[in-house]
Amino acid sequence: MSSNVPSSSQALAVFRYGRFGPIFLAIFVLTLLATAGFVVYLGSTLPEDVLGEAVSFDFRGTDVNGVTGRSLFWGSAAFLVLLAIIMSLVLMSVIKRRRGHFELHPEGIVRQSGAERLYTRFADIGDLYLFASGQTAVAGLINNFAYRVEGGDWIKASFELKGFQDLLLEMRKRHVEHRCPPMHARIGNGERVIFRYIDGAQFLKKRVIGNFMRMKTQELSLSGEGLSVDGKLWPYAQLQALDQNDWIERLAIKASDGTTVFSCFGPALLSTDVFIEIFEDLRVAAMGAPR
């Protein structure tokens, strides 16, 4: 669950959004408005007979007739102002999305947005979702992550944060360190621990069209008896070591006879690092060999 930051906890690092994007957009908006103003000024300095004279020109193979100079000047200025308004809306959206920052603590992470300050312990993060967006989406380079507690809303962090890769690395490492012990304890008490994944077709579709945070997930689980997937229980002694064929792209579990028990794109399995750690611990223990 999420709670207030413990009074004894000190932030190890703070990750804030860069300012280059908003500053560039703001300069672009001002440039558009200045250009529109110059066009209006230029139109006001020309003689009336020039402004009122109808002109003809060819536009992409189409003859345009009867357009006055005044219409061209005012139309150009209006178009520039409209474009400036659109870019202003984009700028406000970017500023709104980048409000706040993230703080890394020894046992949790803080997302601050405006006056709202939300602390989430790593041990309470039920789903950690890694995904690629933007120009790197097709290549699959992870440049975003999102996390949530059981039944909670997603909290997203993106590559727009300064030092994002450092935050991602720490997030994954600390999630494993703090999440695995309580899940092992639950398994030791006879419980099943559930993991969620996105099917391959949906995963590839999101790489193309985005909309990453809206997804339908399927479940598999680990227990003291074995791996449960698609309604079937596979004892660990019947399973091979997990094939992490550069798990960013593909992750597969096979039975001792070579039959594929479970396969998916690596990032499509939520909390992948935690799953791999627990699965291998249980499989090796079932084989009676130290890991």
Higher-scoring residue by pLDDT: 134, 156: 156
Residue 38: pLDDT band with limits 50, 70, 90: confident
Express as a percent the part of the chain with pLDDT over 70: 79
What does pTM read for this prediction?
0.74
Res 1: pLDDT = 45
Residue 214: pLDDT band with limits 50, 70, 90: confident
Res 143: pLDDT = 87
* Per-residue model confidence as pLDDT tens digits over 135-147: 655 555 788 999 9
* Per-residue model confidence as pLDDT tens digits over 41-75: 776 776 655 555 555 545 555 554 545 556 777 77
Res 223: pLDDT = 95
Sheet strands (E) in the chain: 2-3, 13-16, 54-59, 62-68, 101-104, 108-113, 116-121, 125-131, 144-149, 155-158, 193-197, 218-222, 227-229, 232-234, 251-254, 260-264
Mean pLDDT is lowest, of 37-51, 98-112, 126-140, 258-272, for 37-51
